[in-house]
Amino acid sequence: MEIKVTADLLSKNNQLANANKGVFDEHKVFTINLMGSPGAGKTTLLERTIEKLKDRINIAVIEGDIYTAKDAQRIAEHNIPVKQINTGGACHLDALMVEKVLKDFDLDKTDLMVVENVGNLVCPVEFNVGEHAKIAVLSIIEGDDKPLKYPLIFRESEAVILNKIDLLPFCDVDFDQMKKDILSINPEINIFEISSRKGEGLDAWTDWLVAKVNQNK
């Protein structure tokens, strides 16, 4: 019974997500769904990405958060279009929430839409919002056991940002094992090693992202 309800919800959500994707395709907007644990560093990564790319492509952002507008306020300071979605308790964004804010954007003037999901390594992965690619953000401080413990997000993502690499000398993480485990789950995934705080390793990531945006034109 509970399983059937969930399957119905997911099926309905997928229909709405496909409709959203159709809208993005119509306007040639490349859309990513940025996911990761609370504190993985999604918003800081996004700020550094915007700083590097805002003169090259037009970026817009949908911020998902349970209650606050803290992340949207941070993004708005970079003078790009941003809308906040508060889920009011729900642990993930869904396609309907995203559909409701699409009208607030000028999609013909948007090359890249970033949907930053609620901080959660589990639930958001199951709810497509219409994205072309899922991107996982994992703070290396979370530990080298996380890929095998939470495999779905790595299986479904086109790229993973291993963030906060500046903290590697101060923790007991086996970084090689972490990367090996991610590749064992998804041999096709692109791995980017980044310190958003120190601004290290961003170029490979932003170049990859721009290439994806250009392929979509």
* 168 contributes a contact to a second copy by CB under 8 A: no
Q: What are phi and psi of 106, to 5 degrees?
A: -95, 90
For 150, the 3-state DSSP assignment is: coil
CB 1, min distance to a second copy, A: 9
Quick one: which of 31, 33, 37, 157 contacts a second copy (CB under 8 A)?
37
- 78, 85, 137, 142, 210 from 82: Cα distances, Å: 10, 10, 20, 29, 19
CB 205, min distance to a second copy, A: 20
* 68 contributes a contact to a second copy by CB under 8 A: yes
H runs (alpha helix) in the chain:
2-26, 42-53, 70-76, 95-102, 146-149, 151-156, 175-185, 202-215
Quick one: which of 118, 182, 191, 209 contacts a second copy (CB under 8 A)?
118
CB 110, min distance to a second copy, A: 26
Q: Are 127 and 165 in contact (CB under 8 A)?
A: no
* 67 contributes a contact to a second copy by CB under 8 A: yes
Q: Are 139 and 171 in contact (CB under 8 A)?
A: no
CA angle 107, 93, 49 (to 5 degrees): 55
* 66 contributes a contact to a second copy by CB under 8 A: yes
* 189 contributes a contact to a second copy by CB under 8 A: no
| Residues 146-165 close enough to bind a second copy by CB under 8 A | 146, 148-152, 164
Binding footprint of a second copy on the chain (CB under 8 A):
2, 5, 9, 37-39, 65-68, 70, 89, 91, 118-123, 139, 141-143, 145-146, 148-152, 164, 166-167, 170-172, 197
